[in-house]
């Protein structure tokens, strides 16, 4: 079971960094380890200003290879190496990630103190990390791009009556908890057969760069927090969508249709100093909407599921 889940907004702007916003990067501390969704330029200096240790980052998920989503990677990796990191680092990305990331990490002269594995994810890929999974769906953007959802596993409470009723040996319970279901002498027994209360896990979804797309509703379904790009306001909707992006209102419609609990907007065009017009258009559709700012941190509580 995961003790706590905390979100860190390291970069909340789109396209290029400004005085006030770095480009896209979100940290999620899941219990004792942390992951990143995207790693825009300057991510490492933002991490240093936050309460998250750089060494806790175990996996990095890159949504796509536009500069505002990945150019922070070589700097971050080289710093980790200078710190003498030994723990392996996992990097995930869309089609082409293996070549692009290998090329990127071979820049310049340095020696890596730890192993890096690079894996490509596709539409519908789900990876199981023990206490949680990360799933990717194809996003609607002009280059290969992914949206992600991190889902804490549901937890179950065994019910003594049901265990007796199904006649399941006690020594098998731990195995059932771990695997979800097992076969006992020809009978398939699942954890749901033996449990009464089910605590649903927290779910954090991240759009990356995308147009509003019905395909993504399934990925975002029942998110505790949906972090969605909102590049511009409705008066520029045609242009925003033509470049494969969303307005704040588009993001809000995705939150509503996916039955998400909270929406956090980010990836604003550098043209905006004042984000309030984007926020108010979104709130007309989905009231529980907030703007992300760099260095904002947020605890995702179990009670919010």
- Tell me which residues are annotated as active site: 68
Distance CA 146, CA 245 (A): 13
CB of 135 or CB of 140, closer to Zn ion = 140
For 248, the token pair is 């704040």
Query: In the bound complex, what is the minimum distance in angstroms from residue 20's beta carbon to Zn ion?
Result: 16
Catalog residues that contact Zn ion under the rule CB under 5 A: 14, 66, 68, 209
Query: In the bound complex, what is the minimum distance in angstroms from residue 219's beta carbon to Zn ion?
Result: 18
Of 45, 26, 10, 67, give the one whose Cα is nearest residue 204. Answer: 26
Query: In the bound complex, what is the minimum distance in angstroms from residue 154's beta carbon to Zn ion?
Result: 33
CB of 209 or CB of 250, closer to Zn ion = 209
Half-sphere exposure of 86 (CA within 13 A, CB side): 0
CB of 151 or CB of 212, closer to Zn ion = 212
Residue-wise DSSP of 90-127: EEEESTTHHHHHHHHHT-SS---SS-EEEEE--TT-EE
Q: What is the DSSP letter of 217?
A: H
Query: In the bound complex, what is the minimum distance in angstroms from residue 270's beta carbon to Zn ion?
Result: 11
| Residues 214/218/222/223 CA torsion (nearest 10 deg) | -80
Contacts of 237 (CB under 8 A, 6+ apart): 247, 249, 250
CB of 138 or CB of 202, closer to Zn ion = 138
Report whether 162 contacts 218 (CB < 8 A): no
């Amino acid at each position: 079971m995961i003790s706590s889940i905390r979100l860190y907004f390291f970069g909340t702007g789109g396209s290029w960094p400004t005085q006030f916003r770095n480009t896209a990067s979100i940290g999620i501390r899941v219990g004792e380890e942390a992951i990143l969704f995207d790693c825009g330029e300057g991510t490492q200096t933002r991490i240093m200003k936050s309460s998250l240790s750089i060494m806790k980052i175990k996996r990095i998920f890159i949504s796509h290879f536009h500069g505002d989503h990945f150019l922070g990677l070589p700097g971050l990796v080289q710093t980790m190496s200078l710190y003498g990191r030994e723990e392996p680092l996992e990097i995930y990305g869309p089609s082409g990630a293996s070549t692009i990331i290998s090329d990127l990490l071979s820049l310049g002269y340095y020696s890596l103190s730890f192993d890096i594995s690079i894996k490509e994810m596709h539409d519908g890929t789900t990876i199981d990390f023990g206490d949680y999974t990360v799933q990717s769906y194809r996003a609607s953007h002009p280059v290969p791009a992914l949206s992600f959802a991190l889902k804490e596993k549901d937890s179950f409470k065994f019910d003594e009556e049901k265990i007796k009723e199904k006649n399941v040996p006690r020594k098998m319970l731990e195995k059932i908890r771990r695997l979800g279901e097992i076969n006992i002498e020809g009978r398939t027994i699942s954890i749901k057969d033996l449990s009464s209360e089910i605590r649903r896990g927290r779910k954090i979804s991240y759009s990356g760069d995308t147009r509003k797309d019905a395909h993504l509703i399934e990925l975002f379904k029942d998110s505790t927090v949906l972090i969605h790009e909102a590049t511009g306001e409705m008066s520029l909707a045609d242009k925003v969508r033509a470049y494969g992006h969303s307005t704040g209102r588009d993001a809000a419609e995705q939150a509503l249709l996916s039955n998400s609990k909270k929406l956090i907007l980010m990836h604003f065009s550098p043209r905006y100093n004042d984000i309030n017009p984007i926020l108010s258009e979104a709130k007309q559709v989905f009231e529980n909407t907030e703007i992300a700012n760099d260095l904002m941190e947020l605890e995702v509580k179990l009670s919010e599921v």
